[in-house]
Amino acid sequence: MAEFTMELNDDQKQVRDWIHGFAADVIRPAAAEWDEREETPWPVIQEAAKVGIYSLDFYAQQFFDPTGLGIPMAMEELFWGDAGIALSIVGTGLAAIGVVANGTEEQIGTWIPQMYGTPDDVKVAAFCSSEPDAGSDVGAMRTRAVYDQAKDEWVLNGTKTWATNGGIANVHIVVAVVDPELGTKGHASFIVPPATPGLSQGQKFKKHGIRASHTAEVVLEDVRVPGSCLLGGKDKLDERLARARERAAAGGGERVKNAAMATFEASRPAVGAMAVGTARAAYEVALDYARTRTQFGRPIIDNQGVAFQLADMRTQIDAARLLVWRASWMAVAGKPFTSAEGSMSKLYASEVAKKVTAQAVQILGGNGFTREYPVERMHRDSAIYTIFEGTSEIQRLVIARTLSGMPIR
């Protein structure tokens, strides 16, 4: 187990600089165009695939960094480039991680390559969990999966929403209810192969921010997938459901629920790192602008009102990164989140991103309000961080419950 440190080693610095170079040279110049087009930036994803950033191998290498800093470092640099394009690049990883975490070796070997395609023919994947009436309340999920034993097929029906790459993906990973009586423990994940009949794209959302990332509904109407597309296999599912029924009968439902919550806790620092990247980008634009913009015969950074804002912005960004790195190290080191440190990092970093980008717009004044300068886009993009992967309100609820031990509602 690596000791916690704030100093990146030489290998990490090399990777950081490589990703930063790609973000500066490829992502940033394309950011405004794809934000305006509100379309998936296929050429940029292809470039990322050619250099090795758009691949499972890249994310696996960062994930298995023994310090825990590989993923947050990569996320910060990519999202420093542009949040919408970066989410298009990393969005497939959500589905891939679901397969790697829950699938068999055969499923991993079969489906992961189809999620990414090749540098000459890139593909994307979608992870479909949220529903119109089941966002933070995953227990309200209605999409059902029923097993047809005669054909060894699962039949899926329902509607998913807020799916990154939903409908345009080559492979969809769909979370569905297989046993309604078990609540969240009665859920399972399914692979929906390319061109499966019954799966269609519903509404494509026109969003406030991250507009280069495709977000849409996914409609499932009698979608039949082979039994081999149940992640982990049916034997494993039957064993898990049997254990859940035994625990529920013994009054152990809350313990199971808390164990599931701990899994979500471990993934939240990555979102915090995305927020740090956007906040840092806006701060750097504001700092450069304040140094060069003159009013009343001097740079505006000479005014305390501006200089103090920049001081606060930088302090908050560094504090957010510290929380993200601490939680990331704790996750890889197997340290329990006894104070909901994962939620703390996501909550604080996402709130900082919204505040810092707003301050950047203010420092640029009228220029900051126009699309001639990137802080306007960064401010719009930052709004997503307090919403997805658990809203700020949910993060506060998780933290409060963890600290108090009480079922706060």
pLDDT digits (tens, 9 = 90+) for 220-238: 999 999 999 999 999 999 9
**Residue tagged active-site, from 77, 217, 265, 389:** 389
pLDDT of residue 6: 86
Cα 20 from Cα 281, distance rounded (Å):
12
- Over residues 256-288, the pLDDT tens digits come to 443 334 445 567 999 999 999 999 999 999 999
Percentage above 70 pLDDT, the chain: 96
The amino acid at residue 311 is A
Mean pLDDT, rounded, for 84-99 = 94
**The two three-digit tokens of residue 61, written as one number:** 């290498």
Looking at the chain, how many residues does it have? 409
The amino acid at residue 8 is L
Residue 56 and residue 96 in contact, taking contact as beta carbons nearer than 8 Å = yes
The amino acid at residue 88 is S
- Over residues 374-386, the pLDDT tens digits come to 999 999 999 999 9
pLDDT of residue 127: 95
Residue 230 and residue 168 in contact, taking contact as beta carbons nearer than 8 Å = no
Residue 75 and residue 277 in contact, taking contact as beta carbons nearer than 8 Å = yes
Whether 136 has a pLDDT exceeding 90, the answer reads: no
Mean pLDDT of the chain: 94
Cα 291 from Cα 299, distance rounded (Å):
6
106 catalytically annotated? no
Residues in Cβ contact with 86 at an 8 Å cutoff, skipping those fewer than 6 apart: 23, 27, 75, 78, 79, 274, 277
- pTM for the structure as a whole: 0.94
Mean pLDDT, rounded, for 38-58 = 97
DSSP assignments along 90-106, one per residue: HHHHHHHHHHHHHS-HH
Mean pLDDT, rounded, for 129-152 = 91
Mean pLDDT, rounded, for 90-100 = 92
